[in-house]
Amino acid sequence: MTDPIHDVLRRVFGHSSFLGQQEEIIEHTVAGGDSLVLMPTGGGKSLCFQIPAIVRPGIGIVVSPLIALMRDQVQALRQTGVRAAFLNSSLSMREAARVEAMTAADELDLLYVAPERLLAGRTLELLNRSRIALFAIDEAHCVSQWGHDFRPEYLQLSALSRLFPQVPRIALTATADEPTRREIIARLGLHDAPLFVSGFDRPNIRYTVVAKDNARAQLKRFLGDRHRDRAGIVYCLSRKRVDDTAEWLRKAGFRALPYHAGLGKAARQRHQDRFLREDGLVMVATIAFGMGIDKPDVRFVAHLDLPRSIEAYYQETGRAGRDGLAADAWMVYGLQEVVTLRQMVEGSGAGMERKRLEVRKLDAMLGYCELATCRRRTLLAYFGETLEEPCGNCDNCLAPVDLWDATVASQKALSCAYRTGQRFGVAYLIDVLRGSATPRIRRFGHDRLPTFGVGADLDPWQWRSVFRQLVARGLLNVEMERYGSLRLTAASWEVLRGETEVHMRRDLRARPARSKPAKKSAPPPLDHPGDAVLWEALRKRRTELARAQGVPPYVILHDSTLREIVARRPRTTEDLGAVAGIGETRLRRYGHDLLTVIAAQSPPAEPDEDAK
């Protein structure tokens, strides 16, 4: 007789073993303990509260800020035979009353509730007369005022420990830096609760940062080479850039949709639904998009603008490849972003302490961009993890960066900024360095400076790279009052006096050919002839099943499950049931369909030699 948690894992979810710390966390919660769970996106957080909710008597209450996604999450659970429902403002009075009745009658395993609704009179009263198995607080970092996703409605969750002291609480998040962690513990009263921190590594994601040359052309080449007709997200900073980029991608032959707060609720919802339901759509979005999107087959996340912090970057890129198959996190980055972001931080109305924090976060982000060594190592170090070996799956590992001694070039650049009065931006300084006697330069008499024309050995693009790296390292400061003008810092003088050497990345203008194929290849290509045909046939059937139920295809079956079916070509119900992701309910619902598709696409099993 197996224990109940393994039994549920196998029978309901169709998985043969737990991932990482899932088992410990689940046992702890089943036994009634509180906890804080830090796990990267795709790490398998959901099972940590779903299984205890099923195993413990009563209903598991899941608090999630993502109203728009609750329906999909609940539908996905129902596919596995779990009795799940949600309560949020999208339900009619009648629907809500029905869910409340089921809750009171203990007829559910899991109930998803919007945070603003949880402690409102009516729900609170309902909870008081229901049997509660646990509270799961998903996206728990939303309680942190310093974090990047603060939701005021989350603050009231601090009352849970007082109102329901006997009910275990499990808080989950993929954002794990130390201050956020402390704030979650304090606000949710988890002082005595154990902290479960999982490895944050996402080895299937390939990190790449390229120096901006022509962002659109670079994006197009990246998409065209590796991601034609695949689902992905392109992040931009402003609404206008989102709209322009989406429009431009459509003209370039990609299926792209915009998403930002200016679009209106209905359009946003429509675009999000299409992204979830259709294959191969590109969502061009501001950071308003993506939290809680658990679409497993997002193949790439591209940043056209620099995120404000490594946490935000890691969370955004983490939306790629949740299915564990190869995925890309790709970013173009240039001097202008640094200037813009610095100014946004400086010019914001925030208090001194907050500003200092934001500047520090931005600096860490810039440091990441300018790395010449393994990017994953630095990312993981930021979350307190050590990677022993370079990862082999980031741009710097795949094509080692060429460093050059930029000490003299830096001295020229700094001295040029100084001698022109620290009042000018990059374009002007580059003109002076390269000796272009523009009318403006002549008017200021800067064509007579000793630095005039000393930098003819580098082209403007190379100079931009130098200036960008100087700013990123704090060797030049972007001035607030005068737009984009550059000022020296204390550290600049050490370089000017020759006390420090400066080594810089040699930025490559055109991306070199890929040196190695992706670690695990994403579908397709597949291994054997005929696999692609079966793959397409299975996807087609999946789309039909999804349409019929009005759910996204991955709610029916994940790509990773389809891949395994293609690889194994199961012929019997029993063999099919052994495929990861197929539990009893899915087997009953789709077994026949899948086996029919497989039979139609496969040669007869075990061909008889004599029959030829």
How far is Cα 190 from Cα 596, in angstroms, rounded to an integer?
A: 51
308 Cβ contact partners less than 8 Å away, ≥ 6 residues apart: 148, 341, 345, 358, 361, 362, 365
Report, in Å, the least distance between residue 561 CB and ligand ADP. 9
Whole-number Cα distances in Å, 188 to 169, 180, 192, 377: 9, 12, 11, 31
- Asked if 15 is part of the footprint of ligand ADP (rule: CB under 6 A), the reply reads yes
How far is Cα 284 from Cα 281, in angstroms, rounded to an integer?
A: 10
DSSP string covering 362-423, please?
Answer: HHHHHHHHT-SS-HHHHHHHHTT---SS--SSBHHHHSPPPEEE-HHHHHHHHHHHHHTTS-
Name which of 436 and 585 has its Cβ closer to ligand ADP. Answer: 585
For residue 529, cis peptide bond before it (omega within 30 degrees of 0) = no
Q: Which residue of 206, 308, 322, 342 would you call a contact of ligand ADP, by CB under 6 A?
A: 322
Q: Which residue of 61, 291, 293, 391 would you call a contact of Zn ion, by CB under 5 A?
A: 391
Whole-number Cα distances in Å, 422 to 90, 229, 337, 498, 539: 56, 48, 20, 20, 60
DSSP string covering 262-295, please?
Answer: GG-HHHHHHHHHHHHHSTTPEEEE-TTS-TT---
319 binds, among ligand ADP, Zn ion, none (CB under 5 to 8 A by kind): none
Length of the chain, please?
612
Q: What is the bridge-based pairing of β-strands 403-405 and 476-478?
A: unpaired
Q: Which residue of 33, 44, 189, 262 would you call a contact of ligand ADP, by CB under 6 A?
A: 44
**Interaction pattern, residues 270-309, with ligand ADP; x per rule: CB under 6 A:** ------------------------x-x-------------
Gyration radius of the chain over CA positions? 27
- Asked if 331 is part of the footprint of Zn ion (rule: CB under 5 A), the reply reads no
Name which of 73 and 492 has its Cβ closer to ligand ADP. Answer: 73
Q: Which residue of 374, 416, 466, 579 would you call a contact of Zn ion, by CB under 5 A?
A: 374
- Asked if 399 is part of the footprint of ligand ADP (rule: CB under 6 A), the reply reads no
Q: Which residue of 141, 268, 277, 376 would you call a contact of Zn ion, by CB under 5 A?
A: 376
Q: How many residues bind ligand ADP (CB under 6 A)?
A: 18
Selected range binding Zn ion among 72-80, 291-299, 367-375, 591-599, rule: CB under 5 A: 367-375
- Asked if 397 is part of the footprint of Zn ion (rule: CB under 5 A), the reply reads yes
Report, in Å, the least distance between residue 330 CB and ligand ADP. 21
In 3D space, the residue among 330, 370, 308, 360 whose CA is nearest the CA of residue 504 turns out to be 370
Give, as ranges, the residues between 560 and 589 that touch ligand ADP (CB under 6 A): 580
For the record, the structure tokens of 462 come out as: 């190379």
Q: Are 492 and 411 in contact (CB under 8 A)?
A: no
The H or E element that residue 87 is part of is: strand 84-87
Whole-number Cα distances in Å, 128 to 86, 94, 109: 17, 21, 17
Selected range binding ligand ADP among 40-48, 251-259, 356-364, 489-497, rule: CB under 6 A: 40-48
Give, as ranges, the residues between 456 and 485 that touch ligand ADP (CB under 6 A): none
Name which of 26 and 394 has its Cβ closer to Zn ion. Answer: 394
Q: Is the Cα torsion angle 49, 51, 56, 61 positive or negative in sign?
A: positive
Residues 458-469: b if buried by 16+ CB within 10 A, e if exposed:
beeebbbbbbbb
- Asked if 425 is part of the footprint of ligand ADP (rule: CB under 6 A), the reply reads no
376 binds, among Zn ion, ligand ADP, none (CB under 5 to 8 A by kind): Zn ion
- Asked if 545 is part of the footprint of Zn ion (rule: CB under 5 A), the reply reads no
For the record, the structure tokens of 493 come out as: 């003088």
How far is Cα 409 from Cα 419, in angstroms, rounded to an integer?
A: 15
In 3D space, the residue among 199, 222, 216, 256 whose CA is nearest the CA of residue 327 turns out to be 222
41 binds, among Zn ion, ligand ADP, none (CB under 5 to 8 A by kind): ligand ADP
Q: Which residue of 227, 277, 505, 558 would you call a contact of ligand ADP, by CB under 6 A?
A: 558
Query: What are 504's strand-pairing partners?
Result: 404
Selected range binding ligand ADP among 38-46, 204-212, 378-386, 452-460, rule: CB under 6 A: 38-46
394 binds, among Zn ion, ligand ADP, none (CB under 5 to 8 A by kind): Zn ion
Report, in Å, the least distance between residue 546 CB and ligand ADP. 16
The H or E element that residue 60 is part of is: strand 59-63
Report, in Å, the least distance between residue 172 CB and ligand ADP. 8
Give, as ranges, the residues between 46 and 85 that touch ligand ADP (CB under 6 A): 46-47
For the record, the structure tokens of 465 come out as: 């790279």
Packing angle, helices 352-369 and 335-347, rounded to 10: 170
Selected range binding Zn ion among 76-84, 228-236, 383-391, 503-511, rule: CB under 5 A: 383-391
Q: Which residue of 39, 66, 171, 413 would you call a contact of ligand ADP, by CB under 6 A?
A: 39
Name which of 85 and 394 has its Cβ closer to Zn ion. Answer: 394
391 binds, among Zn ion, ligand ADP, none (CB under 5 to 8 A by kind): Zn ion
- Asked if 43 is part of the footprint of ligand ADP (rule: CB under 6 A), the reply reads yes
How far is Cα 425 from Cα 484, in angstroms, rounded to an integer?
A: 5
Selected range binding ligand ADP among 16-24, 151-159, 176-184, 564-572, rule: CB under 6 A: 16-24
Selected range binding Zn ion among 270-278, 322-330, 390-398, 533-541, rule: CB under 5 A: 390-398
Where along the sequence are the contacts to ligand ADP (CB under 6 A)?
A: 15, 18-19, 22, 39, 41-47, 294, 296, 322-323, 558, 580
Where along the sequence are the contacts to Zn ion (CB under 5 A)?
A: 374, 376, 390-391, 394, 397
